[in-house]
């Protein structure tokens, strides 16, 4: 709930405030045309939060359609290979459509239906959010338009085809570098031009308030399940939670229920691309500074004049010059740490995961795994790491093959 004076105000989980801010981050930086829609959405979201019927409806779909809860898997072979902390995988890649994205999409589509919207627009990077959105639109018979950067359309062909099969219109965006940032701009342009019937289904914990809060709430099911599952398996909370970050929805989903558990280290892994200091990176917190883009104040990759820079990552899902505002805040107050992993390290982790656990991870979470591979060996055997395996890697096999010099 957005109430700064709530009895929980000592909690790190009580944000955002009434202006949609986490510290100095967040807010509602949109054109006036969209402002009334955000206020309307905020009102609709407060109404569903107070409605037990909405919760029942969402739980039904999460269980029987998404396939929740997702398992918490003890990655024994990987643990043995790394020779340190015990590594657990939160298996979000087992959700319907193959990633954590459906948790949020399922929640928002039920909100959109209650608001009487008949058309959905969304942005997508790797295509995971686009596929999830196209899926629920098929399920509920809603018109669906997905904006995807032309570069991403090229490197994520299987997901583009999936969206087509699901009945969505996929619009390639050629502006800029043709990646997620440009798709986001174009989705916002569509929304502003079609405000009457269209719902903008944002895929990550970014954008104007109330999106960062709402997406976080819908993704928090990940962390809540982990809390229960790890307590059952180990009788205690983990020492470290690791998740990869583009916009940051899978990370926020697994972090948020643990924010007040000070003993749990939270580590967000940004895509360092060719290296944090290479100039070709997507590490917004490590190499950016606060600014305003896409409706919120947050860490951004930008030049000294405030022009937004292109991000770079091998992973289309992390290829974004910003990050959710709550992550920016968690960084500044020191509650979560943010580190970088390069394309090369992620490719290596991708292969290790596949070989040791028989799980092909999305390149996004391979970044998280690469960091786990750095810290697990220097941790004690009785310590516990949970990695959010947020998506499966079938979509990435072409990219990986290309980088390994294999022709498919």
Instruction: Please identify every residue annotated as catalytic.
Output: 101, 123, 390
Nearer to other proteins, 28 or 392 (CB): 28
Question: How many Cα atoms occupy the beta-carbon half-sphere of 94 within 13 Å?
Answer: 14
- Whole-number Å distance between alpha carbons of 396 and 366: 11
Main-chain phi, psi angles of 149, to 5 degrees: -55, 145
* Shorter beta-carbon distance to other proteins: residue 196 or 408: 196
3-class DSSP assignment, residue 5:
coil
Please, what's the b/e burial string for 35-64 (b: 16 or more CB within 10 A of its CB; e: otherwise)? eebbeebbebbeebeeeeebeebbeebbee
- Closer to other proteins at the Cβ: 15 or 223? 15
Sign of the four-CA dihedral 225, 361, 95, 270? positive
Q: Which is nearer to other proteins, 21 or 395 (CB)?
A: 21
Residues that bind other proteins (CB under 8 A): 19, 27-37, 175-176, 181, 184-185, 188-189, 192-196, 291-295, 300, 302, 304-309
Provide CB contacts within 8 A for 286, sequence distance 6+: 270, 272, 276, 338, 339, 340
Name which of 36 and 377 has its Cβ closer to other proteins. Answer: 36
Using alpha carbons only, how large is the chain's radius of gyration in Å? Answer: 19
Nearest distance from residue 190's CB to other proteins, in Å? 9
- For 376, other C-beta atoms within 10 Å of its C-beta total 24
| Minimum separation from the CB atom of position 39 to other proteins (A) | 8
In angstroms, the CA 239 to CA 85 distance is 9
DSSP secondary structure of 47-107: HHHT-HHHHHHHHHHIIIII-PSPPEEE-HHHHHHHTSSEEEEEEGGGSGGGBTHHHHHHH
Min. distance of Cβ 208 from other proteins in angstroms?
Answer: 9
Write phi, then psi, for 339 (nearest 5 degrees). -125, 170
Q: What is the C-alpha separation between 40 and 386, in angstroms, rounded?
A: 38
Rounded least distance, CB 279 to other proteins, Å: 16
Look up residue 362 and give its DSSP letter. Answer: -
Residue 266 in tokens: 């939270």
Nearest to other proteins of 32, 382 (CB atom):
32
Question: In sequence order, what DSSP letters do the residues of 270-288 get, joined into one string?
Answer: EEEET-TTSS----HHHH-
Beta carbons within 10 angstroms of residue 10's beta carbon: 8
Least Å distance, CB 147 to other proteins, is 12
Minimum Å gap between C-beta 30 and other proteins is: 6
Q: Which is nearer to other proteins, 56 or 304 (CB)?
A: 304
- Residue 28 C-beta: closest distance to other proteins, Å: 5
* Separation of alpha carbons 255 and 229, rounded Å: 15
On whether the CB atoms of residues 344 and 313 are closer than 8 A, the answer is no
């Amino acid at each position: 709930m957005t109430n700064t004076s709530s009895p929980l105000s000592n909690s790190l989980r009580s944000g955002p405030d009434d202006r949609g801010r986490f510290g100095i981050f967040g807010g509602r930086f949109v054109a006036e045309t969209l402002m009334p829609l955000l206020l309307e959405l905020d009102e609709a979201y407060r109404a569903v939060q107070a409605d037990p019927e909405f919760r029942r409806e969402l739980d039904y779909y999460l269980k029987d359609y998404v396939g929740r809860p997702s398992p918490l898997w003890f990655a024994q072979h990987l643990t043995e290979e790394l020779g340190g902390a015990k590594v657990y995988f939160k298996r979000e890649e087992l959700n319907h459509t193959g990633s954590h994205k459906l948790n949020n999409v399922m929640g928002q589509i039920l909100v959109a239906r209650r608001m009487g919207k008949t058309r959905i627009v969304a942005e997508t990077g790797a295509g995971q959010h686009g596929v999830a959105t196209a899926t629920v639109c098929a399920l509920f018979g809603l018109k669906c338009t997905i904006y995807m950067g032309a570069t991403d359309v090229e490197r994520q062909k299987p997901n583009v085809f999936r969206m087509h099969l699901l009945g969505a219109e996929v619009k390639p965006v050629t502006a800029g570098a043709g990646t997620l940032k440009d798709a986001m701009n174009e989705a916002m342009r569509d929304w502003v031009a079609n405000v009457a019937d269209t719902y903008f289904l944002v895929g990550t914990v970014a954008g104007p308030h109330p999106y960062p809060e709402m997406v976080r709430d819908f993704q928090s099911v990940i962390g809540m399940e982990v809390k229960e599952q790890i307590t059952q398996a180990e009788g205690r909370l983990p020492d470290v939670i690791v998740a990869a970050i583009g916009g940051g929805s899978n990370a926020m989903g697994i972090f948020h229920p643990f924010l007040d558990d000070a003993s749990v280290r939270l580590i967000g892994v940004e895509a360092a691309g060719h290296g944090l200091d290479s100039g070709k990176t997507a590490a917004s917190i490590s190499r950016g500074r606060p600014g305003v883009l896409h409706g919120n104040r947050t860490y951004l990759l930008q030049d000294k004049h405030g022009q937004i820079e292109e991000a770079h990552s091998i992973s289309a899902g992390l290829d974004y010059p910003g990050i959710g505002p709550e992550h920016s805040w968690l960084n500044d107050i020191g509650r979560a740490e943010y580190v970088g992993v390069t394309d090369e390290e992620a490719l290596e982790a991708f292969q290790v995961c596949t070989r040791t656990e028989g799980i092909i991870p999305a390149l996004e979470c391979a970044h998280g795994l690469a960091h786990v591979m750095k810290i697990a060996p220097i941790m004690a055997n009785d310590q516990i790491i949970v990695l959010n395996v947020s998506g499966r890697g079938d979509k990435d096999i072409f990219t990986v093959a290309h980088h390994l010099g294999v022709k498919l």
